[in-house]
């Protein structure tokens, strides 16, 4: 293996950070194409997509004039969203969706990857025009954001190799489970699982241990600090494939799934344009091709679920 390739792999693995939302369930990945680090050659320009006049007519005046938009993504969670070996280029499903969506809108996109806790504040400060981070529509988020569906979601659980505790997604009562701070798993999924599987049956609650990013969460499990990890399904699946890793990914037996959305500030003049742009992109072959490219064929959003998200 060439040195450059080794460096690319190392960078990709170290950038495994929990998404702001929830991605696909563990039993869905057909990850044959998720084969390790991705290079700059995997950037898709989507020059075959022409701007849609109906979408352009819905754009706010400032975007019609500037023809530019800044999109913010999570700092890394391959294959959904991560940064290339150059340390600055956004790659993954969400980056490709963003670039294709910009073509539909007739805009030149600037993609910026930041840590999870910087996404909503960045939108509020108007540093970014929109977010593409597969966010699930929690009531708290919908108080400050308009969200437009673009992907499916679900969680997964990782345990040490061999699963010495014989754990399942419903037998975590009283145990410490690692989650990324601010993630859907930390705020919604793990508390709900704890209530359904443990507290409602008189058993001790699952104890969530929040750490800054997914890499540190996995390290905590490797050191025995936590018994298991809960994160987005494709993130764990991709890390497992590319790391030759010291963990196994369990099926989430509760099968709680969700829909992930792009986001703008609540009441934004851009919301309706995004709804229409997503409908146009979804009708094109490039939408499914993006998911196929990153080994996530089963994760594309059904047409019936397009539109604005509600809690």
The second-level CATH assignment, the architecture, of 155-250 is 3-Layer(aba) Sandwich (3.40)
- In whole angstroms, how far apart are CA 15 and each of 29, 37, 279, 293? 20, 11, 31, 20
Q: In whole angstroms, what is the distance from residue 50 CA to residue 117 CA?
A: 34
Bond into 79 cis (ω within 30): yes
Domain ranges of the chain: 3-153+258-305, 155-250
HEC readout, 156-180: EEEEECCCCCCCCCCCCCCCEEEEE
Q: In whole angstroms, what is the distance from residue 230 CA to residue 170 CA?
A: 12
Residue 221 near residue 160, CB atoms below 8 Å: yes
Give residue-wise pLDDT tens across range 7-57: 333 333 333 333 333 333 322 232 333 333 455 556 889 999 999 999 999
Q: Show the tokens assigned to 115.
A: 């840590």
Q: Is 126 exposed, middle or buried (0-12, 13-18, 19+ CB in 10 A)?
A: exposed
Q: In whole angstroms, what is the distance from residue 205 CA to residue 141 CA?
A: 25
Q: What is the CATH number of domain 3-153+258-305?
A: 3.40.190.10
Query: Using 50, 70 and 90 to split pLDDT, how confident is the model at 292?
Result: confident
Q: In whole angstroms, what is the distance from residue 157 CA to residue 232 CA?
A: 8
Query: Using 50, 70 and 90 to split pLDDT, how confident is the model at 115?
Result: confident
pLDDT at position 12 is: 34
DSSP line for 269-303 = TTHHHHHHHHHHHHTSHHHHHHHHHTT-GGGBPPG
pLDDT at position 75 is: 78
Give residue-wise pLDDT tens across range 64-103: 999 999 999 987 678 888 888 888 899 999 999 999 999 9
Residue 217 near residue 18, CB atoms below 8 Å: yes
Q: What is the mean pLDDT of the chain?
A: 83
- Residues in Cβ contact with 173 at an 8 Å cutoff, skipping those fewer than 6 apart: 194, 197, 198, 203, 204, 205, 206
Residue 274 near residue 71, CB atoms below 8 Å: no
Q: Show the tokens assigned to 60.
A: 């706010």
pLDDT at position 184 is: 81
Q: In whole angstroms, what is the distance from residue 68 CA to residue 284 CA?
A: 22
Q: In whole angstroms, what is the distance from residue 146 CA to residue 265 CA?
A: 6
Q: Do domains 3-153+258-305 and 155-250 have the same CATH topology?
A: yes
Lowest mean pLDDT among 165-174, 200-209, 292-301: 292-301
Please determine, for residue 198, whether its predicted confidence score (pLDDT) is greater than 90: yes
DSSP line for 18-74 = --SS-B--TT---GGG--S---GGG----TTPPPPHHHHHHS-HHHHHH-EEEEEEE
Query: Using 50, 70 and 90 to split pLDDT, how confident is the model at 255?
Result: low
Residue 149's nearest CA partner among 298, 55, 279, 49 is 279
Q: What is the model's pTM?
A: 0.73
Residue 266 near residue 240, CB atoms below 8 Å: no
pLDDT at position 57 is: 98
Radius of gyration of the chain (CA): 19
Give residue-wise pLDDT tens across range 124-176: 999 999 999 888 888 899 999 999 999 987 788 999 999 999 998 889 999 99
């Amino acid at each position: 293996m060439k040195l450059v390739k080794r460096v690319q792999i190392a960078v990709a693995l170290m950038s495994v950070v929990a998404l702001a939302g929830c991605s696909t369930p563990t039993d869905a990945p057909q990850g044959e194409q998720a084969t390790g680090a991705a290079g700059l050659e995997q950037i898709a320009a989507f020059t075959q997509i022409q701007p849609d006049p109906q979408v352009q007519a819905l754009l706010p005046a400032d975007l019609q004039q500037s023809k530019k938009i800044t999109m913010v993504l999570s700092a890394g969670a391959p294959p959904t969203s991560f940064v290339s070996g150059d340390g600055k280029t956004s790659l993954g499903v969400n980056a490709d969706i963003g670039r294709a969506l910009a073509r539909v809108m007739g805009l030149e996109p600037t993609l910026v990857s930041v840590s999870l806790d910087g996404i909503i504040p960045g939108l509020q400060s108007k540093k970014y025009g929109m977010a593409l981070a597969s966010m699930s529509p929690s009531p708290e988020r919908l108080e400050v954001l308009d969200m437009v569906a673009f992907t499916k979601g679900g969680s997964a659980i990782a345990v040490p190799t061999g699963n010495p505790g014989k754990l399942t997604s419903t037998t975590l009562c009283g145990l410490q489970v690692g989650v990324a701070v601010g993630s859907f798993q930390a705020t919604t999924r793990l508390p709900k699982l704890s209530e359904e599987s443990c507290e409602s049956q008189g058993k001790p609650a699952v104890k969530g241990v929040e750490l800054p990013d997914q890499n540190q969460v996995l390290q905590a499990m490797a050191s025995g600090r936590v018994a298991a990890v809960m994160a987005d399904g494709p993130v764990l699946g991709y890390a497992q494939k590319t790391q030759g890793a010291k963990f196994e990914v369990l099926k989430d037996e509760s099968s709680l799934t969700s829909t992930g959305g792009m986001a703008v500030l609540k009441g934004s003049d851009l919301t309706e344009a995004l709804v229409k742009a997503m409908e146009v992109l979804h009708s094109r072959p490039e939408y499914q091709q993006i998911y196929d490219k990153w080994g996530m064929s089963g994760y594309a959003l059904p047409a019936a679920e397009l539109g604005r998200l509600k809690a």
